Amino acid sequence: MSSDSAPSRRATLAYTASVCGWRRTAAAYPPISASSWSWSVTAASTAGVGSAAPAAFRCRWRLIRHPLPARVRSCIGYILYHFGSQMKHPSVAVSLWLIVAASTCASLANGALTTLLPLYADDVLHLDALASGVLVGVAPLVGLAAQPLVGRLADRSGYFCTWLGAGVIGVAGILLMLVSGGFGGALASRTLFGILSSAAGTVMAAWVIGIVPAAQRGRALARFGVSVWIGLGAGPQLGQVVIDRTGYAGLWIVAAALVLASIVLARPLPEPELPGVAPHAESGQWIAAARAVLLPGTVAALAWSSEGVILTFGIVHLRDAGLPVGGPTGATTVLTVFAASVIAVRFLLGSVTDRLGPARTAISSLILLAIALVGLALAQDFRVAALSAVVLGLAFAPLYPALTLLADDRLDPRRRATGLGIFGALTGAGVGAGTLYGGALSAWSGTAAAFLATAALQLAGIVLTTRRR
């Protein structure tokens, strides 16, 4: 139904009101012609519009008229009418949760494939550890390189078209695993999937900022960021259940279905409204976007280098400090506490960035991050390690929204996805750099030195953020 068909919309609501038992009858309203009977009206008629509805829909109504009580029909009619209106013209809140749901589906597919691919490489392809590592690592590397390009494409062609294209490429890459029987096919599959990964981190974040009012973007980005953690946490469990029941072929099919679901969920989303900014030359687009995000992107690289150190050497460091690897008081539980605290803080304190401002929030988070890293470096028992993990979650939860908003602050809206693609690439480069220098420092003077050095790097991030204010 078009937005300018107010009489039809009022008539539709009138018929729905009559179904819901409101104190007016369908006869009190003018009849709706078949040509103006949109799909949202169809939904209401299915729930129980009376004899004034067109004949085709009266037949459907008669089929369910007797078994369903009047109050059930009332609820169904009311829900379907408003659901149809929201999907036709989704509000900001509905759009945000559609983005979160779409990102969650893509993250679930990524979490399942990335963590369980080494098992497939060992059980089916019979590859060694090096080849398995190449298969796992090629998708993030492709995504890292493709993020700025995907962002530029989104700025030029639209967010949904870019997400649709990346999703189709990702699905093709996943389904390629069904017919590939060796290392080459699996490598091509992961390369294609890396393009989807780049779009998930770039297009979705730009979409959130583009449709949410400026005063609510911190909370919105916090909600959006939770989808990544849900995918990383629940994806492996979901994938393992599928493998146990249907084998690896079932895993590829389920992962492809999740990506397709993310495309369907993104379809009703509106394109962000952009001001009428005069286009610049292609080289100017890249240079302007890179300048706008360089400083916050550098701070993000410094901060996320700590994630590379923690995920790569955290369990080894805590094991060497005397903690068991597994169990309720083991090193793996410390990482679980970290992930749980990030999710909890993003839900409970998601608006802190909007209240304090992105610069102050980023500085506070970097201070907490440095404290948490020192605590982990010095931890000798589970209590200190778990407390440090909680502080680490308090630091990381608002840091992503704060730095993303700092990156967007000086971006032209028509270059938003391009700039956030460059910002995402710098963040990913920081994770890789943390893995590299963390390994060098650990080999030279132990894992504690790697954690302390990473804490010192956060002081440099604080200085750079202060300059940005």
Domains and CATH numbers, the chain: 6-88 (no CATH), 92-272 (1.20.1250.20), 282-469 (1.20.1250.20)
Q: Is the pLDDT of residue 83 over 60?
A: no
Can you tell me the distance from the alpha carbon of 425 to that of 304, in angstroms, rounded to the nearest whole number?
11
The number of beta carbons lying within 10 Å of the beta carbon of residue 242 is: 20
What is the percent of the chain with per-residue pLDDT over 70, rounded to a whole number? 78
327 sits in the region (left: phi over 0; alpha: psi -120 to 50; else beta) called left
pTM of the model: 0.70
Mean pLDDT along residues 316-335: 86
> Which residue do the tokens 């805590």 mark?
318
Q: Residue 328: what pLDDT?
A: 85
Please enumerate in sequence order all residues whose Cβ is within 8 A of that of 338, keeping only pairs 6 or more positions apart, or say none. Answer: 310, 389, 390, 392, 393, 396
The predicted-structure confidence for 215-272, as pLDDT tens digits, reads as follows 889 889 988 988 887 887 788 888 888 999 999 999 999 999 999 999 999 999 998 8
Q: Is the pLDDT of residue 7 over 50?
A: no
Q: Residue 265: what pLDDT?
A: 94
Can you tell me the distance from the alpha carbon of 401 to that of 356, in angstroms, rounded to the nearest whole number?
12
The predicted-structure confidence for 395-411, as pLDDT tens digits, reads as follows 999 999 999 999 998 88
Q: Residue 117: what pLDDT?
A: 83
Choose between 32 and 415: higher pLDDT. Answer: 415
**C-alpha neighbours within 13 Å on the C-beta side of residue 188:** 11
Mean pLDDT along residues 101-106: 94
Q: Residue 166: what pLDDT?
A: 94
The predicted-structure confidence for 122-154, as pLDDT tens digits, reads as follows 888 888 877 877 787 788 888 888 998 999 899
The predicted-structure confidence for 188-215, as pLDDT tens digits, reads as follows 998 999 899 888 889 999 999 999 888 8
